[in-house]
Amino acid sequence: MTRDTANRVEGTIAELLAARGEESRRPLADPAPLPSTEELDVRNLEAYDPDSGLRVPVRRYGPRGQDEPLPAVLYLHGGGWAIGSIDMLHPWVARLAADLGAVVFSVGYRLAPEYPYPAALQDCLAVLRWVAARPAELGVDAGRIALTGVSAGGALAAGACLWIRDHGGPPVVLLHLVTPSLDDRDDTESRRRDWGPTELSPVLVRESWDGYLAAVTGEVPGTAAPARAASLVGLPPTFVAVGERDAVRDEALLFAFRLAADGVPVELHHFPGVAHGLAGQVAPGLRRRIDETVLASLREALFDA
């Protein structure tokens, strides 16, 4: 799919879109047990932002018996801006909330190609403003909010932080990027390489960007593709994790290097042999290290600041 033919979907992205209704209702395969209902208070809510008039579905995960404000995490799922949902990501987000001991909000942003940029970004910003404006109601500390984005969600998280830097908004204590898709250009070695049938396809990355940017005319803004931002000065402290066998590997590494050069505190992890989403068959020790590293960065930013 190209930007000139956004109403016609072909190829691998077409297969994903055709299955979107079914896949959005199916939890991700996850062999580990879900947190028990005794651990978490899970609520389906609707974020209403009076500034934009947007209403966005949100699922709130928090500890049961919570009696004091806790740090908050906004979880922005991946899926090439075209698939994914609150239900589909429920197992992972529930476990994140239980392991972290914070309040996590899973954001049901609008999907491309029906809703191209800036719809999803607007939804994420609306939820951020909604959470920050209702700390007592939601049981959160508005001064300790992190944005975590996976894959396409990484572009949304970084784009939101760029928007806040330039236009104002609630402060973010950590920009947490897991295998982020940040650049719509196909200029890196990892985007040109064929990683094999079981890995993220560069063609799928290309088609996903085309759907997301279908309504963009002229130069692509940094809030859409954060790698295009002229400067990263002023972004919050950032965590970046990416695997070796990932089409978005190089853009994630380059973004982290640019953050450091622009004076932004950045923590970078490159995991050998690991695929997109920090997935794939890896040794149990490496899997534990990946999970502990991703969680530790959030815990330190939210609880040790």
> Could you tell me if 179 and 240 are in contact, meaning their C-beta atoms sit under 8 angstroms apart?
no
- The closest of 161, 206, 200, 212 to 278, measured between CA atoms, is 200
Burial class (CB in 10 A: 0-12, 13-18, 19+), 109: buried
> How far is Cα 278 from Cα 65, in angstroms, rounded to an integer?
33
> How far is Cα 292 from Cα 68, in angstroms, rounded to an integer?
26
Judge whether residue 25 has pLDDT over 70.
no
The encoded tokens of residue 88 equal 């589909």
> What pLDDT score was predicted for residue 131?
98
- Give whichever of 22-36, 241-255, 267-281 has the largest mean pLDDT: 241-255
Phi and psi of 212, rounded to 5°? -65, -35
By annotation, the residues acting in catalysis are 151, 246, 276
> What pLDDT score was predicted for residue 30?
56
Cα dihedral angle (46, 49, 55, 59), rounded to 10 degrees?
Answer: -30
> What pLDDT score was predicted for residue 9?
36
- The reported pTM is 0.92
> What pLDDT score was predicted for residue 194?
82
> What pLDDT score was predicted for residue 219?
96
Helix (H, G, I), strand (E, B) or coil at 175: strand
Phi and psi of 105, rounded to 5°? -115, 115
> What pLDDT score was predicted for residue 120?
98
> How far is Cα 214 from Cα 192, in angstroms, rounded to an integer?
22
- At 132, which CATH number? 3.40.50.1820
> What pLDDT score was predicted for residue 8?
34
> How far is Cα 74 from Cα 67, in angstroms, rounded to an integer?
21
Neighbours of 75 (CB within 10 A): 25
Domain count along the chain = 1
pLDDT in tens, 128-167: 999 999 999 999 999 999 999 999 999 999 999 999 999 9
Q: Please give the residue range of the domain that contains residue 182.
A: 3-303
